[in-house]
Amino acid sequence: MKKWLSMLILLIAGVNISAQTNNPNNFTLYSVSDSSKFTLSEAKGKYVVLHFLLKTECPYCLRHTSDYAANADSLPDVLQIFIKPDAKEDIKKWTDKVPDRILNKFPIYQDVNASLANQFKIKNGYFFHNEEVHYPALIILDTTGKEVFRYVGTSNADRYSFAQLKAKMKELKSN
């Protein structure tokens, strides 16, 4: 009886632990800038960097996306995924400002109602253009899809630079 009770307690504890993690097991995002989709389970074996961009018009998001796109070839085994929580029409307007050479390589994915940001427990409550949004964030998932690093900015200008990412990837891969 004690053995069964112990197993039940461990099972319940395990369920509670997994329910508290920030990392969804799998998810799919659909691009607004083209017809592609990203599914985490299909990226096994590669590092994935999720860039949670701000909702609404954000010039810092544009600069951030452009900087990463310009340097991404130096991290060929790392997938860069750019995510915005806006309505499709708003994302399409924003992507009009993104050069085609970037969009062809890095589609912009929609996080409907910021549901993925919520699953990753990215803090909400930042006010930008009189609207409450999630803080800008960068999350690194390892080759198994497990979160291994996160950076949540304190403002729209507070972003994790590509140079910082490159150093962090070197560190993660050496461990």
Q: What is the pLDDT of residues 29-50, one digit of tens each?
A: 999 999 999 999 999 999 999 9
Q: Distances from the Cα of 165 to the Cαs of 26, 42, 68, in angstroms? A: 23, 22, 10
Q: Work out the mean pLDDT of the chain and round it to a whole number.
A: 85
pLDDT score for 89: 94
- Band of pLDDT at residue 22, cut at 50, 70 and 90: low
Find tokens 């992507």 and name the residue: 95
Instruction: Say if 3 falls within a structural domain.
Output: no
Phi-psi region of 13 (alpha: psi -120 to 50; beta: other; left: phi over 0): alpha
Residue 134 clears pLDDT 70, i.e. is over it: yes
Instruction: Say if 7 falls within a structural domain.
Output: no
Rg (CA), the chain: 18
- When pLDDT is averaged across residues 74-82 and rounded to a whole number, the result is 95
- Band of pLDDT at residue 17, cut at 50, 70 and 90: very low
- When pLDDT is averaged across residues 108-120 and rounded to a whole number, the result is 94
What is the number of other CB atoms lying within 10 angstroms of the CB of residue 51?
23
Instruction: Say if 103 falls within a structural domain.
Output: yes
What distance in Å separates the CA atoms of residue 141 and residue 23, rounded to the nearest whole number? 9
- When pLDDT is averaged across residues 132-158 and rounded to a whole number, the result is 92
| Segments forming the whole domain that contains residue 96 | 24-174
- Band of pLDDT at residue 19, cut at 50, 70 and 90: very low
pLDDT score for 21: 41
Instruction: Say if 69 falls within a structural domain.
Output: yes
Instruction: Say if 147 falls within a structural domain.
Output: yes
Instruction: Say if 164 falls within a structural domain.
Output: yes
Cβ contacts of residue 78 below 8 Å, gap of 6+? 46, 47, 48, 49, 72, 169
Residue 131 clears pLDDT 90, i.e. is over it: no
Cα dihedral 150→104→46→44 (10° resolution): 100
- When pLDDT is averaged across residues 66-71 and rounded to a whole number, the result is 92
Instruction: Say if 17 falls within a structural domain.
Output: no
- Number of folded domains that form the chain: 1
Instruction: Say if 148 falls within a structural domain.
Output: yes
- When pLDDT is averaged across residues 13-37 and rounded to a whole number, the result is 69
CATH number at residue 145: 3.40.30.10
